[in-house]
Structure 1
């Protein structure tokens, strides 16, 4: 990748689809999204000039303060500062050195995202395509997405999560597809902002992002969960059914580590969404209902899901 700012236009033109699946053309089908990677270039100019040891002041003045609006938003939302990046550089310097390996796959990942977004635009007429900012952060989070803020990705964090998917290019595509689905979940976003959302609510929000992400991109972002659950579907989902009303999420969401799959609520939520879609006679309408889910209990009741359900 060159040193200049790279802006990838992801044109979401109308794509052909199977007769039952193909919706009428909507405005979203010709919309476009921008993937902004210039902040990555900016960071590595500062990083290389300082031989991999930039100070907190240099990072703040020459990187964060000079970055894009997307980077400024990312910093504000996730408390990223020059000092916090410098601290992470001190404790984990390999995180930033290793992230350079992801730069080479960005062009091909862009092409695959184009295809995924064409599918989204042609399948859901009200799809939103906010800009994506790929930048360098403080090691976490990997990515965040919301209807009113767009998508921000920490390249160093995404490159470090080999356990999500060992293929870096695949990882970028599937994680961004997952985040793009979150952007569409306008109603569900309000649920996620509740003081104490339930296990069912969060599992459906994340599971829907997994399911629709697979529909448009070909695979879920959290690819290892299915393998971890293989042969244990009934046992895991029976436990899940007993916990759906709990507000303690620690057994089901946001608990994955490099050594432990975790996040099994994502997997169960994915299976509930898949059951809903499979059982619906009108797939286009089902996709709309899935993306616009605003009542988790009602959605579960209509899905046809039950613990241990067999799904293709």
Structure 2
């Protein structure tokens, strides 16, 4: 059950450092949503079946820098989008429910990222781009910014059901990744991370998302794993040095949840933060982590540890 907003606010107030009174609002990134409108203009004009050529020349090639970056990183082409529309038309029709809340989600995300700037003064603010792609991935983040595929994000059945909240919390998670990519690029971009390393990257982003937006991106795990902490985390500890991530990370689908590594990594990051006297320094160490084993040793985490909500 969700905690009342008042209780959540009280908890966050205890966990985060006080902010200077009268300080000017911190900066926030540009959040681009215009590519979504451009896509649906073409989509509607073609009766839901835009041609590969139209998608390539009138949408991708004419799109924002973030859309073009997404296309180059994840092989998003006009033909690939057209094929995805033909194969899964319901994803593109269904994404309209997320499209309608984009302005409100942008306002909420701006507030969340201003909070990030207050808690993490060294934050940098590359842009966020929300666009429409080939049905995957949900999100891509590097030092240049955050790129979200709206149709993929909206199609996941087990994430936060309210689309505005879903966008807010997922964007907060991804923006934490942008900070990791800037602060610790070798660790964030390690080609073959261990289960522990990858879980701490994702868990740090989940913890940061909760701190700045009020919830993690994969909230279902909080309820699903309650009462099973010791068993799950004992199994995790046995696998933490493995480079086979398939049991713990990136194993969900649009309809089947996964990602227990996100949850364990979140709990390790939360233990680290709760045990730290200097919260601002702790968040910087969470986002700038370079040594997973050393971070784990300092966190105070152990399998099954009690961590109050």
TM-score, structure 2 length as denominator?
Answer: 0.91
Residue number among 271, 275, 280 corresponding to 1:279 in the alignment: 275
**Is 1:144 aligned to 2:140, yes or no?**
yes
Q: Distance in 2 between matches of 1:206 and 1:305?
A: 16
1:141-193 deviations in whole A, cap 9, x for unaligned? 1111122x201111111111131111111110000000010111134442242
Q: Distance in 1 between matches of 2:302 and 2:53?
A: 55
Instruction: State the secondary structure of the residue aligned to 1:102.
Output: helix
Aligned equivalent of 1:8: none
Which moves more between the two structures, 280-289 or 204-213?
Answer: 280-289
Instruction: State the secondary structure of the residue aligned to 1:32.
Output: coil
Q: Distance in 2 between matches of 1:130 and 1:257?
A: 28
CA positional deviation for 1:260:
3.6
Aligned equivalent of 2:156: 161
Aligned equivalent of 2:44: 48
Matches within 5 A, 1:203-222: 203-222=199-218
Aligned equivalent of 1:184: 179
Instruction: State the secondary structure of the residue aligned to 2:243.
Output: coil
Aligned equivalent of 2:6: none
Residue number among 98, 101, 111 corresponding to 2:97 in the alignment: 101
> Structure 1 84/231 Cα, relative in aligned 2: closer, same or farther at 3 Å?
same
Unaligned runs of 5+ in 2: 1-12
Instruction: State the secondary structure of the residue aligned to 1:231.
Output: coil
1:234-255 deviations in whole A, cap 9, x for unaligned? 0000011111110000011000
Aligned equivalent of 1:257: 253
Q: Distance in 1 between matches of 2:16 and 2:51?
A: 57
The answer as to whether partners of 2:27 and 2:114 remain within 8 angstroms in 1 is no
Unaligned runs of 5+ in 1: 1-16
Aligned equivalent of 1:3: none
Aligned equivalent of 1:124: 120
The answer as to whether partners of 2:156 and 2:255 remain within 8 angstroms in 1 is no
CA positional deviation for 1:289:
1.1
> Structure 1 18/229 Cα, relative in aligned 2: closer, same or farther at 3 Å?
closer
Q: Distance in 1 between matches of 2:188 and 2:15?
A: 35
Aligned equivalent of 1:201: 197
**Is 1:234 aligned to 2:230, yes or no?**
yes
The answer as to whether partners of 2:199 and 2:261 remain within 8 angstroms in 1 is yes
CA positional deviation for 1:80:
0.2
> Structure 1 228/105 Cα, relative in aligned 2: closer, same or farther at 3 Å?
same
> Structure 1 259/135 Cα, relative in aligned 2: closer, same or farther at 3 Å?
closer
Q: How many residues align?
A: 294
CA positional deviation for 1:29:
6.0
Instruction: State the secondary structure of the residue aligned to 1:152.
Output: strand
Instruction: State the secondary structure of the residue aligned to 1:144.
Output: strand
Q: Distance in 2 between matches of 1:19 and 1:138?
A: 40
**Is 1:110 aligned to 2:124, yes or no?**
no
Aligned equivalent of 2:29: 33
1:259-292 deviations in whole A, cap 9, x for unaligned? 5431000000000000001111111111111111
